[in-house]
Amino acid sequence: MAFLQEKVLFVWFMFSLTSGFTSSRSDHYTPPNLKHLTELFPRLKFNQGFKESFGESNIKLMDNGSFVNVTLDKSSGSGFVSQDDYYYGFFNTAIKLPAGFSSGVVVAFYVSSFFSLSLMSNSEIFPHNHDEIDIELLGHQNRKEWILQTNIYGNGSIKTGREEKFHLWFDPTEQHHQYSIIWNSNHTVFLVDNVPIREVTHSEGISSAYPLKPMSLHCTIWDGSEWATNGGKDPVNYKYAPFVASFGDMQMEGCKWDKTKQVPFCVKSGQGLSILDPVEGEEFAKLSQEQKMGMDDYRKRFMIYSYCKDPRRYKVLPPECNR
């Protein structure tokens, strides 16, 4: 009987290795039934607000532009970008990641002022001073999982990396899942399938590094061999190429930047540069109690790294970590 039990355990263990399942993706986790913010805004096709940014030959429109496949191969990565810059907003996409061995591959969904489309170029307007809010999905070796990394910085504060890393409760290569960013004067929130996983409050502690510049939205796949997997120890293996990621259900609801006047379009009438948050309502100004509980539970289960818990990296933790 003991031999049979050992044999069953061994078979289960080997299955878990070959299937890529580990204990971090708990089959006991059921995401909370929270308000679906992604149902509040229209979906955009590619021609309704985007254009290629690099690797044009590796970009393919699907379903009449409702979905976009971006590819990384030996020749190039690829990506597309919003035609406008935004000052605050809600940004969302559904992403399906490449299956199989993907070490060193980075699939990213982010807003950034570095390649600002309205401001000539960041090097002229904001030298070494750009803002960015990142969702980065980091590839893996065989029998491992994709890692979700979030980051936020303003005024070029790259040296103070504010990364947090998470496991996911699902296999992101099987179907599309929603990844969202809320960015306004109150806070920045990262969400997966409408579940908040991280909130950065616009507090005094982080005020000097809080993103406040107009930013464009980017969707990319690229070679992150130098750092993405095990600190760069496992680079992209192009034997497994091409690596294809699919983006769809694109949503951008925000305050567009006036390229002529260099101010947001949603300025309060007669009140100078007092900005209206483009995504209004209490659900965007702060998290509900249910959302906070859902976020806390997710972080306890799936967060694997936070810069605020890394004293080896920072002898003095960034001020917002003291909250």
Residue 83 buriedness (CB in 10 A; 0-12 / 13-18 / 19+): middle
Instruction: Enter the DSSP assignment of 86.
Output: E
Residues 25, 26, 30, 32, CA torsion sign? negative
Q: Which of 62, 78, 104 is nearest to 70 (CA)?
A: 78
- Please spell the DSSP secondary structure of 87-133, one letter per residue: EEEEEEEEEEPPPS--TTEEEEEEEESTT-SSSS-HHHHSTT---EE
> Which of the following is catalytic: 6, 39, 124, 132?
132
Neighbour tally for 117: CB within 10 Å: 19
| 136, 145, 164, 253: the active-site residue | 136
* Dist CA 78 CA 69 (whole Å): 9
> Could you say which DSSP state residue 257 is in?
E
Omega cis (within 30) before 318: no
Nearest Cα to Cα of residue 131 among 49, 196, 188? 188
Active site residue 132: yes
Active site residue 136: yes
Catalytic residues: 132, 136
